[in-house]
Amino acid sequence: MTRSNDMEELIETVAEFIVRARRIVVFTGAGASTESGIADFRSRGGIWDKYNPEDFYFQKFLTNEESREKYWQMSTEVYESLKKAKPNPVHLAIAELEKLDKLDCIITQNIDGLHHKAGNSREKIIELHGTALSVSCLSCRRKYDRDEVQQRILNGVKVPRCDDCEGLLKPDTISFGQAMPERETNQAYDRSFGSDLFIVVGSSLVVQPAAYIPLRAKQGGAKLVIINRDPTPHDGYADIVINGSAGEIMTQILGKVRGKMGNS
């Protein structure tokens, strides 16, 4: 593993990896979106400084009205910042990888829809933890627009229920203790195994099973690059680790790639 003592050299090496690669998978976490103004979970000032993760287990949501109220309070607050957020240089750099025909797919733990807003095509984005932009009834599966449900909460409803069947409404995101979406999870494992370059951007790599996915890429023979502000438990498996602002680093990498591919 090479660490960021000579940033310039590491950026150059990653750009070289990208130019040579044919099937790049980019894996993003909450740190890819902090520069868009959306707090991550674990950093200082992040969501877990304000709320207790223990309150947000799926089982509690199913069984306890007070937990549901807390969930909607937290989720409503987070959605207000998601709605306003715009793609930042991380998302734009990844969108450029698709334009350069280098991107196999993005596997994202994020629920903010910013890869779509940045211009990546829908079929290239695997949302492992779902999306906050829609809501479903847990009983009859009727879908609701998030803005409509958000308005109900802002009008004073504490726990919204389905108009058709009175079932519990919940955003289409995966909570702790809730099953991962099978299709997306299988796709993520397969595409990672088949990739030749796997780039992690802005993830603490501690949430399972998502955190195992980079190791799957490594087993398939891919080079592994980790770009994150803080160290992660998987740094030892990486070919390159760059610690710093994901926006700055991705912008510099793409600048070099453009130069090398003669598109600047």
- Is 120 among the residues that bind ligand NAD (CB under 6 A)? no
Neighbours of 229 (CB within 10 A): 16
* Of 89, 160, 171, 202, the one binding ligand NAD by CB under 6 A: 202
Q: Of 18, 40, 96, 241, which one interacts with ligand NAD (CB under 6 A)?
A: 40
Which residues, including other chains, have CB under 8 Å from residue 136's CB and lie 6 or more apart?
142, 143, 144, 169, 170, 172
**What b/e string do you get for 41-55 counting C-beta neighbours within 10 Å, with b at 16 or more?**
bbbeeebeeebeeeb
**246 near ligand NAD (CB under 6 A):** yes
Q: List 226's β-bridge partners, or say none.
A: 200, 241
The Cα 235–Cα 226 span in angstroms is 7
Alpha-helical segments (H) within the chain: 7-20, 47-50, 58-63, 65-84, 89-99, 114-118, 146-154, 182-193, 213-219, 246-261
From candidates 10, 15, 18, 38, binder to ligand NAD by CB under 6 A: 38
Residue 117 is a binding residue for ligand NAD (CB under 6 A): no
Decide if residue 110 touches ligand NAD (CB under 6 A): yes
Q: Could you say which of 2, 139, 187, 245 contacts ligand NAD (CB under 6 A)?
A: 245
Tell me which residues are annotated as active site.
Answer: 129
Please tell me the count of residues contacting ligand NAD according to CB under 6 A. Answer: 28
Q: Which is nearer to ligand NAD, 13 or 228 (CB)?
A: 228
Residue from 213, 228, 256, 250 nearest 3 by CA: 228
Q: Is 238 in the site for ligand NAD (CB under 6 A)?
A: no
From the CB of 27, what's the least distance to ligand NAD, in Å?
9
The site for ligand NAD (CB under 6 A) is made up of: 29-31, 33-35, 38, 40-43, 46-47, 109-112, 129, 202-204, 206-207, 228-230, 245-246
